[in-house]
Chain A
């Protein structure tokens, strides 16, 4: 039904005009072609039949003519016989005069007349002239009638001769006619034979010719139909295979054209569907690939707890995810904004300073935490207008945030013709969403490590402090017990002994031991209290301006008995006056400590010299001795509490073991320091430095020292 409809429409649209340009074979509808074919076949068959019939008819006519000639010949023969019978009967009568012969003559005459009539009828058919023959026959018959009528008178010889002559003429004419008829019959027969042969030859040839023509036409028609059909079938197969090809016959007006148009519509539909399917597949492939890469990224970053390494991996992953895009990562490794950024990047060159900094695109994304896609970076209005754009084409920046924390940004950018699009931005955001917790974990891990480290060091410090305290207490106990040993031991000895068991000299010696030990104990306790005050930060300097040269001279005179006792020379070199603002008592204490140590560790005949000199930023008081010296490894230890070295002569230790410690602490309280420069066998130089600010100008400026003292306080 559907095709019929198409048929009608197509037929209606055809215009007679087209026929002017010959037969538009391709424009004919198949139905018309088929009709034409059938019509042609009918025509050909009709033509063939007509031809055969005509030829047959022609052949038949030829045969009739030959038969007529033969029949005329037979009729002539009979006439000739009848004429001979008449002559025989006439001759017999003339000789015998018998009436029977006359009767025979009469009978033969009738027969001849009949035969003549028949002959005339036939000869008319053959279109043969019987005139001469009939004239001769009539002439002889007239002679015979005359001869008979003269009977019984015998015919004269001339009469007989006339009769014979007449008969001979007749016979001659009979023979001639016979020859004509014979020839005509033969000719007719020959012509009939020729025609038959012609027909037998030509008819099949024409038939074959027509058949061939028919086959040719049929083939042409079928071919003209089959070829496009095959082509269309092939096209349909191609379409079903998903290939796109040109559809043949689209311009045709016939059913094949309609089929081609239907195919074209199908192909378009199929192509569209294929495109959609392909797009869907590509999208899915891309998604799968993206997922895979994201998964890889997750795998690659899992367990990585070092921020910069993590950043490096992420930047690499961006390149893989976004088709070789370059990437840069910024990340605050501490919660505070003032902490430095951890940056990782790939491909970021010297000209790209503005890209990642707070002035660049990252600076836009960081506060808003909105992903940013800059499809054309060259025209993007950055706040950093002066920054070189360095050929960056497009850029995608996404925030890295954990909850409310703005951790940083992840930026991807391209330089070539490749531009990042919204899909890339989405992928980047996914990666960022995945990366942020990892980075946060790394950050927390780092903080944890730092806190751990702090804890460990605090713990170490506490342990050290605790150990120091225990050591200090143990040493303290030792140092207290030693003088107490003398005090208690000698007093017990004196109490227990008989009055005379110990002489007065020894008794006095024991009492001195007790007394000195008590004094030592007091010094120890004072030093210890001073030291603990310093350690607790409760030691206050009573600052005043005084002459350091005088203090030094006073200390030297205090120490001179001890030096004299040890036969040690004391030398001093100090510019005077030397006005300083400091705690005079503490400075004196430090000088005494250094001097007594120097004298103690200097063997007899040695020398202790004090040298005061100014350096650009400080005043240095150096106490040098010619003692045994101190090994390098002991230089710091001697400043610790209760760390005493053997004295020069290995004799009784003096001092509390806190002197150097306290001296150093007091110097530090003044903003100065104490240090030693010594080597075994080379003597020792203990130096005590005071900041230059403590020096008071010989022409004292009002107010200035006060400020200095303020600065010097802790």
Chain B
């Protein structure tokens, strides 16, 4: 079982992403802000980080840069998830060190294939993870 850290302040988006990841058989750690994510990262080492760009307080890209600068977390792939959909936003995200960039509204299939491509696992039993 692989742990994925989702950082998202919008509750519905968080639930949507979590549901999808859990259906894929991953364990989801949820954080509502970059600060909360940072404290979680002190205890856990997720295989993947999915981060919303616009967050209250520190924004997602700044957090990404910090993760990339930290040797312990630098190797964790980060996927940016944002409602800011311009090319400049994409470049900013990739420049900050994100491996992928996805815009809202989210395509569940694109998220699934991206996460699969990054983690190489697919849950056989989605229901078992939805406890």
Would you list which residues of chain B between 69 and 85 have a CB under 8 Å from chain A? 83-85
Q: Mark A459-498, 1 if CB is under 8 A from B, else 0.
A: 0000000000000001001110110111111101100110
Contacts of B15 in A (CB 8 A): 513
Give the distance in Å from the alpha carbon of A410 to the alpha carbon of B109 in the complex: 85
Interface assignment of B124: CB less than 8 Å from any CB of chain A: no
Q: Are B13 and A482 in contact (CB under 8 A)?
A: yes
B19 touches A493 (CB 8 A): yes
Residues of B in contact with A, size category: 20 to 34
Contacts A489-B105, A650-B33 given; does A478 touch B83 at CB 8 Å: yes
Chain B residues, Cβ within 8 Å of A478: 54, 83-84
Q: Indicate if the CB atoms of B16 and A481 lie closer than 8 Å.
A: no
| Neighbour of A482 across the interface among B19, B104, B107, CB < 8 A | B104
**A474, B86: Cβ atoms closer than 8 Å:** yes
A489 near B13 with CB under 8 A, answer yes
Is A206 part of the binding interface, using a Cβ–Cβ cutoff of 8 Å? no
Does A489 contact B108, Cβ atoms closer than 8 Å?
A: yes
Question: Cβ of A481 and Cβ of B13 under 8 Å apart?
Answer: no
Residue of A nearest to B12 (CB): A486
Task: Say yes or no: A486-B109 contact (C-beta < 8 A), given A650-B33, A650-B56.
Answer: no
**A517: B residues at CB distance < 8 A:** 12
A481 engages B12 (CB within 8 Å):
no
Q: CB within 8 A of A513: which of B9, B12, B127?
A: B12
Q: Judging by beta carbons under 8 Å apart, are B126 and A489 in contact? A: no
Q: Which of B11, B23, B54 contacts A501 (CB 8 A)?
A: B23
Q: Which single member of A474, A500, A513, A652 contacts B84 (CB below 8 Å)?
A: A474
| In the bound complex, CA of A504 to CA of B54 (Å) | 32
> In the docked arrangement, what's the CA distance between A493 and B105, Å?
13
CB distance from B126 to the nearest CB of A (A): 6
B20 close to A (CB within 8 Å): yes
Assess whether B10 is in contact with A652, with CB atoms less than 8 Å apart.
yes
Interchain CB contact under 8 A, A488 and B84: no
Contacts of B105 in A (CB 8 A): 481, 484-485, 487-489
Q: Which of chain A's residues have a CB closer than 8 A to the CB of B109?
A: 492, 496
A482 touches B83 (CB 8 A): yes
Bound CA span A497–B33, Å: 30
Q: Which of A477, A482, A487, A496 contacts B10 (CB 8 A)?
A: A482
- Given known A-B contacts A501-B126, A501-B127, A650-B33, A485 and B16 have beta carbons under 8 A apart: yes
Given contacts A493-B108, A650-B56, contact A485 B13 (CB under 8 A): yes
Residues of A within 8 A of B92 (CB): none
Residues from chain B with a CB closer than 8 A to the CB of A497 are: 23
Contact A486:B20 (CB < 8 A) given known A477-B83, A481-B105, A496-B109: no
B106 within 8 A of A: yes
| Chain B CB within 8 A of A646 CB | yes
Cα distance, A478 to B55, chains bound together (Å): 13
Asked whether B114 is an interface residue with its Cβ less than 8 Å from the other chain, the reply is no
Q: Report A-chain residues with C-beta under 8 Å of the C-beta of B19.
A: 493
Is B32 in contact with chain A by the CB < 8 A criterion? Answer: yes
In the bound complex, residues from chain B placing their C-beta under 8 Å from that of A500 are: 127
Residues on B with beta carbons closer than 8 Å to the beta carbon of A484: 104-105
Q: Is A417 an interface residue (CB 8 A)?
A: no
Query: With a CB–CB cut-off of 8 A, which chain B residues contact A477?
Result: 83-85
B115 to chain A, nearest CB (A): 14
Pick the residue among B20, B56, B103, B106 that contacts A646 (CB under 8 A). B56
The closest CB in chain B to the CB of A520 belongs to B12
Q: Across the interface, which residues of A come within 8 angstroms of B12, CB to CB?
A: 485-486, 489-490, 513, 517, 652
Most buried by B among A485, A646, A651: A485
Q: Is the CB of B107 within 8 A of A481?
A: no
How far is B8's CA from A650's CA once the two chains are assembled, in angstroms? 12
Identify which of B13, B57, B104 gathers the most chain A CB atoms within 10 Å of its CB.
B104
Residues on the B chain within 8 Å of A490, using CB? 12, 16
Q: Please measure, in the bound complex, the distance between the C-alpha atom of A498 and the C-alpha atom of B104, giving whole angstroms.
A: 24
Count the A residues whose beta carbon is within 8 Å of the partner chain — how many? 27
Tell me which residues across on chain A come within 8 A of B126, comparing CB atoms: 501
Do A492 and B83 have beta carbons less than 8 Å apart? Answer: no
Residues of A644-686 contacting chain B, CB below 8 A: 646, 650-653
| Among B32, B33, B56, B83, contact of A485 (Cβ-Cβ < 8 Å) | B83
Shortest beta-carbon distance from B14 to chain A in Å: 9
Distance of B60 from chain A, by nearest CB (Å): 13
B107 near A492: Cβ-Cβ < 8 Å: yes
Could you give, for residues 80-114 of chain B, a 1 whenever the CB lies within 8 Å of some chain A CB and a 0 otherwise?
A: 00011110000000000000000111111100000
Neighbouring A residues of B85 by C-beta, 8 Å: 477, 481
- Contact present for A496 and B83 (CB under 8 Å): no
Please indicate the chain A residues that have their CB under 8 angstroms from the CB of B84 in the complex: 474, 477-478
In the bound complex, how far is the Cα of B107 from the Cα of A485, in angstroms? 8
A651: which B residues are within 8 A, CB to CB? 11
* Nearest-CB residue, chain A, relative to B108: A492
Cα A650 to Cα B127 in complex, Å, equals 30
Bitwise, B45-59 to A at CB < 8 A (1) or not (0) is 000000000101100
Residues of B with C-beta under 8 A to A493: 16, 19-20, 108
Distance (Å) between the CB of B67 and the closest chain A CB?
Answer: 22
| Residues 111-131 of chain B, each 1 if its beta carbon lies under 8 Å from chain A, else 0 | 000000000000000110010
Min C-beta distance of A657 to chain B, whole Å = 12
Determine the distance from Cα of A651 to Cα of B12 in the docked complex, in whole angstroms: 11
Residues of B within 8 A of A489 (CB): 12-13, 16, 105-106, 108
CB-defined contacts of A481 to chain B, threshold 8 Å: 83, 85, 103-105
Q: How far is the CA of A495 from the CA of B84 in the complex (A)?
A: 26
A492 to chain B, nearest CB (A): 5
CB distance from A271 to the nearest CB of B (A): 96
Bound-state Cα–Cα, A325 to B56, Å: 74
| Distance of A506 Cα from B16 Cα, bound (Å) | 11
The answer to whether residues A652 and B107 also contact, given A477-B85, A478-B83, A501-B23 and a CB cut-off of 8 A, is no
- What is the bound-complex CA distance between A646 and B130, given in angstroms? 30
| CB proximity of A494 to chain B, nearest CB, Å | 10
Q: Which residues of A contact B10 (CB under 8 A)?
A: 482, 485-486, 652-653
Chain B residues within an 8 Å CB radius of A513? 12, 15-16
How far is B85's CA from A646's CA once the two chains are assembled, in angstroms?
Answer: 23
Residues of A within 8 A of B54 (CB): 478
**Min C-beta distance of A521 to chain B, whole Å:** 11
**Contact between chains at B16 and A652 (CB < 8 Å):** no
Complex CA–CA separation, A481 to B103 (angstroms): 8
Give bound CA distance, A506 to B19, whole Å. 10
Residue of A487, A490, A492, A653 ringed by the most chain B CB atoms within 10 A? A492
How far apart are the CA atoms of A537 and B91 in the complex, in Å? 38
Q: 30 A-B contacts, Cβ less than 8 Å apart?
A: A474-B86, A477-B83, A477-B84, A477-B85, A478-B54, A478-B83, A479-B83, A481-B85, A481-B103, A481-B105, A482-B83, A485-B13, A485-B104, A485-B105, A486-B10, A486-B13, A486-B16, A489-B13, A489-B108, A492-B107, A493-B20, A496-B109, A497-B23, A506-B130, A513-B12, A513-B16, A517-B12, A650-B32, A650-B33, A652-B11
Q: A487-B105, A653-B10 are in contact. List 17 more A-B contacts (CB 8 A).
A: A479-B83, A482-B13, A482-B104, A484-B105, A485-B106, A486-B12, A488-B106, A489-B12, A492-B109, A493-B19, A493-B108, A513-B12, A646-B56, A650-B32, A650-B33, A651-B11, A652-B12
